[in-house]
Amino acid sequence: MAKDINDIIIGESKNVLELKFLIDKVAKSESTVLVLGETGTGKELVAKALHSASKRKGSFIPVNCAAIPAELLESELFGHEKGAFTGAEKSRVGRFELSSGGTLFLDEIGDISLSLQAKLLRALENKCIQKVGGGKEISLDLRMVCATHQDLEKKVADGSFRADLYYRINVFPINVPTLSQRSEDIPLLINYILSNLKKDKNNLPKFTSEALEVLKRHLWPGNIRELKNVLERAYILFENKQIEKNHVLENLIRLKAPTSKEEQEALWDATQELDNVEENNGLQSFNKKSSAPLPHPKHYADWFDFFENIDLRVYLRDVEVVLIESAIKKSDGVVSKAAELLKINRTTLIEKMKKLQIN
């Protein structure tokens, strides 16, 4: 296995060793790779490891497709000629050209528009591009690695992602494990992250074995990104000190709202039977006639290891508000579209909005 892979991907768990094996195998080829995984799992690190272990001498060029406005993404990728559009005062080289001889990493590939998907497919198949506003064909010599946290097969089925592009980029899929699926790597990750967090290696905090066990059992919905935040907080609060179990529970770990689709749907079902929430009321039970499923036990079974109590009604109410507001924003204020996103009836959504005082 290439040394670069072990330097970039930290961990020795079974899932990580399998991940490294796949990276090592495909790095020697020129195949297009699709990296799949939850937000914060380190998909870009996988792409960097692929590039470093390959024979390509050019640059590794990352692009977060979700972070660039749709109207600017085409120019960012393909470049543009002077005068191609208002504000294009000079010619610009795009990310495709910059990655010539190297690797182009397109993160959040599922967010690009259908029109840009067609141009991306053409570039992959013909190994050439045209700048925006240009007519000259520019040959490409690059390896493309794409990544997403979305279900592209579902997007293909609903028509929001081209099937031909999906099959073109899904030559060699790699699934990145969540942090909870590689929890035995947490001590190694802690040492690596803390040692790279600060130049002064002498004042780093130390975790007791009991504290490490708490971290291993944490759900980590934000994955490695969340772990980094926890460790930065640990350095600030416990510089050059020993961190005990109670420090982790009381000062480092924060309650996270569930993000997976299954958990969100379960929460919607569970809140159907809840009455109006009054300030300072205690923990109430569900209506006994309700058959609504609770959130997945594997995600919530350990919550009371970290919290003395949880006001279930208030917590579910808050989750409801966040999801409804997000759906309305995503739907540009169109209630019927928001209801479709939430998989509930339009009238039900309107009733919830009135009840929760959401405009």
CB 96 within 8 A of CB 123: yes
Output the pTM of the full model: 0.70
- Quick one: pLDDT at residue 333? 86
Residue 326 CB contacts under 8 Å (≥ 6 apart), including other chains: none
CB atoms within 10 A of CB 18: 13
pLDDT < 70 stretches in the chain? 199-200, 254-309
Angle 110-113-119 from CA coordinates, rounded to 5°: 100
- Quick one: pLDDT at residue 39? 92
Residue 3 CB contacts under 8 Å (≥ 6 apart), including other chains: none
The answer to whether 3-175 and 180-252 have equal CATH topology is: no
Q: What is the CATH code of the structural domain delimited by 3-175?
A: 3.40.50.300
Q: Is 105 helix (H, G, I), strand (E, B) or coil?
A: strand
Q: What is the CATH code of the structural domain delimited by 180-252?
A: 1.10.8.60
CB 158 within 8 A of CB 117: no
**How many angstroms separate the CA atoms of 176 and 136, rounded?**
39
Domain definitions of the chain by residue range: 3-175, 180-252, 261-356
CA dihedral angle for residue 219, residue 221, residue 225, residue 231, rounded to 10 degrees: -40
Closest CA to 318 of 256, 262, 237: 256
- Quick one: pLDDT at residue 304? 66
Q: State the DSSP code for 251.
A: I
CB 242 within 8 A of CB 251: no
CB 273 within 8 A of CB 286: yes
pLDDT tens digits for range 170-209: 999 999 999 999 999 999 999 999 988 876 677 899 999 9
Buried b (16+ CB within 10 A) or exposed e, 211-231: bbebbeebbbbbbbebbbebb
The two three-digit tokens of residue 92, written as one number: 């610009």
- Quick one: pLDDT at residue 252? 86
